[in-house]
Amino acid sequence: MLRIEKYGAIDIGSNAIRLLISSVTEEEGKDARFKKTSLIRVPIRLGADVFTANKISEANIERMIDAMQSYQLLMKVHGVKMYRACATSAMREATNGKEVVELIKEKTGIKIDIIDGKEEAAIIAMTNLNELIQTDASYLYVDVGGGSTEFTVFHSGKTIASKSFKLGTVRLLNDHVKAETWEEAEKWIKEHTASYQELSLIGSGGNINNIIKNSGKEGAGKSLSYLYLSSYYKLLNSLSYEDRIWQLKLNPDRADVIIPAARIYLSAMKWSGARKIHVPKIGLSDGIIKSLYNKSKKERC
């Protein structure tokens, strides 16, 4: 007999706020099957507020409340059993972050957890990343967000080191990344990957997903070469913002952040010596769904 349940994950990032609803199907004696039912993304760029004025603006607070009310209703009509809402870099640094969390809870009933970079990396590790990681290979996992980038080194199927840097696309657009941050990230990557030969990158985030989609190489196990990503980065820089929207068919809120995102991935590849980047299309929302399922399963046992 099949058991089918739905779970919801809200990812409140620096560039956008996402709701992922997934169905989890269980059959006795078999691994659970996860299937994305609905994914909604609204471009509320909290990082533009926080990295400039250190707080979330009244206008974006109202937009967040509207988004959360919509997400609450969507989860209700989908019959979501359990959900979790996690906020990352922008909400961590906003001086009014806790006040906004309390206001949203009061107005919408949705409880938001503000998580640090370490917990963010741990949640992402809950995904099916292990299916991609070969036990005899080495990888640098790079999750690029609007406010921060998480780097994790894997070797022989195990996590060797992990660190979060304030190196995000929205920060870079607003010129809020110090040269020292780039230097620290370079030093950390070189230090933790120097002993591994033939290391590959694993990239996550909306921008690298968009790049591989446009490459025509989208699909399980697909990867991009350093040469391809470098050429695409040059193409992006050669086009105006309007041309990126029209010629490359990018969304307006993607057409600007995709350039600093590509720069981060290319820098990580250069510093680690990686020649290709795998794009499994996973992220924080997927990790939240997996952790909720594991919690539910544990409670049933």
Residue 280, pLDDT score? 85
Say which residues have a Cβ less than 8 Å from residue 26's Cβ, sequence separation at least 6: 2, 3, 4, 32, 33
Q: Which two tokens stand for residue 104?
A: 């949203």
Could you tell me the pLDDT band of residue 281, with boundaries at 50, 70 and 90? confident
* Three-state SS at 56: coil
Percent with pLDDT over 70 in the chain: 96
Quote the crossing angle between the two packed helices 206-215 and 258-272, to the nearest 10°. Answer: 90
Q: How confident is the model at residue 28 (pLDDT cuts 50, 70, 90)?
A: confident
Asked if pLDDT for residue 1 goes beyond 80, the answer is: no
| Per-residue b or e along 265-287, where b marks 16 or more CB atoms closer than 10 Å to that residue's CB | bbbbbebbbbebbbbbbbbbbbb
**What average pLDDT does this structure show over 29-46?**
92
Say whether 34 sits in a helix, a strand or coil: strand
Q: SS3 for 148?
A: coil
* Rg, Å, the chain Cα set: 19
Find where tokens 């370490």 sit: 118
Q: Give the residues across from 186 on adjacent strands.
A: none
Domains of the chain and CATH, by start: 3-118+285-300 (3.30.420.40), 134-282 (3.30.420.150)
